[in-house]
């Protein structure tokens, strides 16, 4: 009986002590501030379109964050605000045990640069097909699309999406000119010819024909003799020379 009473007493004391420690910890959390901010931006092909130091400085200046206690800071609000930065894709915000607020950022990936004319600023098109402002920090090495607007550029974007994971064709394409009807021509990094694909229907067949043609003309040493290569015909490559 005495042992049972002692066990109950010990259990009560332990529970009381635990509750007190939790209460002290909560009180300490309510009265402490984050001592530092760690911003980690995941690179894309060695480039940073989001500047970590710029994000850090902007957060420190933000009214909803400056001077906040750990218990008062709403992490979802911090994440939502960081997402308003144009090149930010995903954001993860979490507190560390060392009172450091950690922010992990993934970037949007540019796959093309859209040029609509001399009177308008260029923009990027990201991997989701959405417009993205140019970065003051880095220039993406991506194909340039010549089109009147984002919607008009869509056939070229579809083409880039189809080839961008193929190392050869991704490196092959330098510029794409979209015509009013939606057909397009490629300006490659090899040779001087414009390549008419018209559209992305039966794309692999067209690319296979183009590869065979280039391979043969490079072997003969006269690739630069052609100014236009038309792949829109079913069973042939129509190549136009300069003379």
The pLDDT tens digits of the residues spanning 153-168 come to: 999 999 999 999 999 9
CATH number of the domain at 72, please: 3.10.20.310
CATH number at residue 138: 3.40.50.11690
Q: Which domain holds residue 70?
A: 36-107
Q: Quick one: 160 and 223 in the same domain?
A: yes
Last-in-domain residue among 107, 125, 141: 107
Q: Going by C-beta distance under 8 Å and a sequence separation of 6 or more, which residues neighbour residue 73?
A: 34, 65, 101
pTM over 0.85, yes/no: no
Phi and psi angles of residue 239, each rounded to the nearest 5 degrees, phi first: -115, 130
Query: Is residue 48 located within the same domain as residue 65?
Result: yes
Using one digit for the tens of pLDDT, what is the confidence trace for 102-160?
A: 999 999 999 999 999 888 999 999 999 999 999 888 899 999 999 999 999 999 999 99
Q: Are residues 114 and 189 in the same domain?
A: yes
Which residues have C-beta within 8 Å of that of residue 230, sequence separation ≥ 6?
196, 237, 238, 239, 240
Residues 158 and 194 in one domain: yes
Q: Clarify whether residues 116 and 103 are in a common domain.
A: no
Residues 192 and 148 in one domain: yes
Q: Could you tell me if 43 and 120 lie in one domain?
A: no
């Amino acid at each position: 009986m005495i042992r049972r009473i002692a066990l109950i007493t010990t259990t009560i004391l332990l529970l009381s002590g635990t509750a007190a420690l939790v209460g002290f910890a909560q009180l300490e959390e309510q009265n402490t501030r984050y001592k530092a901010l760690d911003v980690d931006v995941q690179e894309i092909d060695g480039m940073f379109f989001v500047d970590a130091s710029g994000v850090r400085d902007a957060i420190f200046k933000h009214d909803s964050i400056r001077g906040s206690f750990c218990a008062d800071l709403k992490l979802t609000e911090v994440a939502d605000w960081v997402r308003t930065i144009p090149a930010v894709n995903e954001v993860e915000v979490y507190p560390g045990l060392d009172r450091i607020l950690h922010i992990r950022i993934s970037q949007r990936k540019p796959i093309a640069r859209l040029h609509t004319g001399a009177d308008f600023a260029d923009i990027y098109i990201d991997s989701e097909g959405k417009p993205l402002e140019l970065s003051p920090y880095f220039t993406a090495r991506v194909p340039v699309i010549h089109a009147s607007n984002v919607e008009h550029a869509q056939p070229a974007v579809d083409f880039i999406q189809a080839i961008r994971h193929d190392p050869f064709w991704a490196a092959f394409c330098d510029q794409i000119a979209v015509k009013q009807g939606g057909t397009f021509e490629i300006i490659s990094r090899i040779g001087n010819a414009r390549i008419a694909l018209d559209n992305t229907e039966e794309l692999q067949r067209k690319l296979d024909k183009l590869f065979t043609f280039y391979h043969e003309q490079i072997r003969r040493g006269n690739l630069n003799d052609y100014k236009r290569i038309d792949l829109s015909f079913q069973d042939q490559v129509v190549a136009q020379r300069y003379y």
